[in-house]
C-alpha cells in the first residue's frame, strides 16, 4: 500500500528514479511520472489500465519550462496562458518530438500542457528538472479522485507515494482547448467555464467527440466517469415514479427528495453555488456508488458556468458501460 504524506523531497526522489507519485492539483489528483522518461510514462498506463491511444497531460512549473519542450506558442495561446495559468486549463501545443516521447501524446504532434495551481505540486515541480505527465489518478473509465483517500482506495498498491494536498478545490478536471487560427476550440469542458474563456478570447467553439474509438480527449469517451451502479441523469421526480425510492441514490443541486432516505442523497450546494457543487460532485458519486443501491439518479444542473462541466460528467456517467 502506498504511503500518504506531505514529504516533497521523498516525492521528488521517487520521481527522479522513474517511479509514480500521486499529486494534488486544484482540479483532481493526478498520477504523475517523469514526462521525459518513456518507461515512467509506460508505467502510468499500466497502473491505470489505460489504453495507449489515450494521450496524457504534461504538467509544468512555468512558461519557461514549457518553452523547453514545445516548438511554438502562438500569440493567442500565449495570451490565454498568461491570463489563466496556473489554473484548470490545458492547452494543446506543438511538441518538440525529440524531447516529449511519442507515448505521451499517442503519437500526436500536439502535446497537452498545463501549469497546475496547487502550491504543493508547484513546489514539487520546482524541485525537478523535468515536467510531469499525469492523467487523473483513477483506474481507466472510473470517477476522478478528489482526495488522497480516493487514490489510495483504487491505486494504492500500484504507486509509490501519495502526496497529500487535501481535498481538491475545483473538483472537475481541467478545460482542454486547442486553436483554429485564433479561435479557441474546447475539447473538454472543465474547471474554466466557457463564459470565462469567452471573456478573454471571444467566441469559442465547443467540439464534442462522437467517435469513441479515436477520442480527442479521454473525458470524451461517452461512458467515462461511470460509477458501477446504474446511473441516470434527468428528471428525478419522474424517474422516481418508476422505481422503489428506498433503493435509489440521488445527486441533486439544492434540495432533498422526501421519497428517498436522506442518507442516500447528496445535495451538492444548498445555497446554489455551482463551484461548491463541482467541488463535491465526484466524492458524492463515489459515496453513493459504494452503497450498493439499485440506481442512482442525478438532476440536470443549470447550464451556466461550471454547471456545463457538471452536466457533462453526469451525462457521461449515465452512458452504458463500454
Ligand atoms: O484536471 C486535469 O486535467 C487532470 C489533472 C491531474 O491535471 N488530468 C486529467 O487527465 O484529467 P486525464 O488523462 O484523465 O484526461 C486528460 C485528457 C486525456 O485523456 C486525453 O484524451 C486528453 O486529455 N489529451 C491529453 N493529451 C492530448 C493530446 N496530445 N491531444 C489531444 N488530447 C489530449
Ligand atoms: Mg481521467
87 CB less than 6 Å from ligand 1? Answer: no
Q: Which three cell numbers stand for residue 208?
A: 464534442
The Cα 316–Cα 116 span in angstroms is 25
- Cα pseudo-dihedral 230, 208, 173, 201, rounded to 10: -150
* Tens digits of residue pLDDT in 217-248: 555 555 566 788 999 999 999 999 999 999 99
Kindly write down the DSSP assignment for every residue of 86-109, as one continuous string.
SSSEEEEEEB-TTTS-HHHHTT-S
How many angstroms does the Cα of residue 64 sit away from the middle of ligand 2? Answer: 26
Give the pLDDT mean for 256-265. 98
Residue 162's nearest CA partner among 8, 321, 318, 316 is 8
Q: Which three cell numbers stand for residue 274?
A: 455551482
Q: Which three cell numbers stand for residue 290?
A: 459504494
Model pLDDT, residue 67: 98
Which of 19-28, 133-142, 211-220, 264-273 has the lowest average pLDDT? Answer: 211-220
How many angstroms does the Cα of residue 125 sit away from the middle of ligand 1? Answer: 18
pTM of the entire predicted model: 0.93
Model pLDDT, residue 289: 95
CB 149 within 8 A of CB 161: no
30 CB less than 6 Å from ligand 1? Answer: yes
User: Which residues have C-beta within 8 Å of that of residue 57, sequence separation ≥ 6?
Assistant: 30, 90, 112, 113, 114, 133, 134, 135, 174
93 CB less than 6 Å from ligand 1? Answer: no
Q: What are phi and psi of 188, to 5 degrees?
A: -145, 130
Is a pLDDT exceeding 50 seen at residue 212? no
Is a pLDDT exceeding 80 seen at residue 270? yes
How many angstroms does the Cα of residue 259 sit away from the middle of ligand 2? Answer: 34
Model pLDDT, residue 221: 57
Model pLDDT, residue 214: 41
70 CB less than 6 Å from ligand 1? Answer: no
DSSP 3-state helix, strand, coil percentages of the chain (rounded to 5)? Answer: 30, 20, 50
Q: Write the burial class of residue 47 (CB in 10 Å: 0-12 exposed, 13-18 middle, 19+ buried).
A: buried
* Tens digits of residue pLDDT in 53-80: 899 999 999 999 999 999 999 999 999 9
The three-state secondary structure class of 150 is helix
Residue 90 CA, closest ligand 1 atom number: 3
Name the closest-CA residue to atom 19, ligand 1. Answer: 218
Q: Are strands 110-114 and 89-94 parallel, antiparallel or unpaired?
A: antiparallel
How many angstroms does the Cα of residue 231 sit away from the middle of ligand 2? Answer: 19
* Tens digits of residue pLDDT in 100-139: 999 999 999 999 999 999 999 999 999 999 999 999 999 9
The Cα 147–Cα 137 span in angstroms is 10
Name the closest-CA residue to atom 29, ligand 1. Answer: 111
176 CB less than 6 Å from ligand 1? Answer: yes
215 CB less than 6 Å from ligand 1? Answer: yes
Q: What are phi and psi of 34, to 5 degrees?
A: -60, 115
Q: Which three cell numbers stand for residue 99?
A: 524531447
138 CB less than 6 Å from ligand 1? Answer: no
Residue 118 to residues 29, 56, 84, 88, 288: CA-CA distances in angstroms? 11, 19, 14, 10, 28
The Cα 131–Cα 59 span in angstroms is 6
CB 306 within 8 A of CB 274: yes
b/e map of 88-111 (b: 16 or more CB within 10 Å)? bbbbbbebeeebbbebbbeeeebb
The Cα 89–Cα 179 span in angstroms is 13
b/e map of 9-41 (b: 16 or more CB within 10 Å)? eebbebbeeebbbbbbbbbbbbbbbbbbbeebb
CB 236 within 8 A of CB 250: yes
Mean pLDDT computed over every residue of the chain: 93
35 CB less than 6 Å from ligand 1? Answer: no
Give the pLDDT mean for 272-279. 98
Model pLDDT, residue 141: 87
Residue 32's nearest CA partner among 177, 157, 160 is 160
Model pLDDT, residue 225: 65
Amino acid at each position: 500500500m502506498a504511503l500518504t504524506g506531505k514529504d516533497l523531497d521523498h516525492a521528488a526522489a521517487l520521481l527522479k528514479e522513474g517511479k509514480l507519485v500521486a499529486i494534488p492539483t486544484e482540479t483532481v489528483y493526478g498520477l504523475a511520472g517523469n514526462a521525459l522518461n518513456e518507461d515512467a510514462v509506460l508505467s502510468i498506463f499500466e497502473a491505470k489500465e489505460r489504453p495507449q491511444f489515450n494521450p496524457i497531460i504534461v504538467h509544468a512549473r512555468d512558461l519557461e519550462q514549457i518553452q523547453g519542450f514545445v516548438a511554438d506558442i502562438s500569440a493567442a495561446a500565449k495570451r490565454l496562458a498568461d491570463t489563466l495559468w496556473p489554473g484548470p486549463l490545458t492547452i494543446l501545443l506543438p511538441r518538440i518530438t525529440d524531447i516529449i516521447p511519442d507515448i505521451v501524446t499517442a503519437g500526436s504532434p500536439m502535446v497537452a500542457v498545463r501549469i497546475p495551481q496547487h502550491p504543493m505540486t508547484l513546489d514539487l515541480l520546482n524541485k525537478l528538472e523535468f515536467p510531469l505527465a499525469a492523467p487523473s489518478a483513477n483506474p481507466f473509465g472510473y470517477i476522478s479522485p478528489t482526495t488522497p483517500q480516493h487514490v489510495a482506495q483504487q491505486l494504492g498498491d500500484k504507486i509509490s507515494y501519495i502526496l497529500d494536498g487535501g481535498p481538491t478545490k475545483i473538483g472537475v478536471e481541467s478545460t482542454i482547448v486547442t486553436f483554429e487560427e485564433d479561435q479557441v476550440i474546447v475539447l473538454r469542458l472543465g474547471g474554466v467555464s466557457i463564459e470565462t474563456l469567452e471573456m478573454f478570447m471571444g467566441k469559442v467553439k465547443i467540439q464534442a467527440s462522437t467517435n469513441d474509438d479515436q477520442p480527442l480527449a479521454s473525458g470524451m469517451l461517452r461512458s467515462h466517469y461511470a460509477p458501477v451502479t446504474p446511473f441516470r441523469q434527468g428528471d428525478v421526480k419522474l424517474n422516481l415514479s418508476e422505481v422503489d425510492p428506498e433503493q435509489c441514490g440521488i445527486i441533486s443541486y439544492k434540495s432533498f427528495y422526501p421519497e428517498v432516505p436522506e442518507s442516500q442523497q447528496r445535495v451538492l450546494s444548498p445555497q446554489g453555488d455551482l463551484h461548491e457543487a463541482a467541488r463535491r460532485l465526484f466524492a458524492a458519486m463515489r459515496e453513493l456508488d459504494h452503497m450498493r443501491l439499485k440506481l442512482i439518479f442525478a438532476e440536470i444542473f443549470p447550464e451556466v458556468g461550471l454547471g456545463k462541466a457538471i452536466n457533462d460528467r453526469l451525462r457521461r456517467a449515465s452512458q452504458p458501460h463500454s
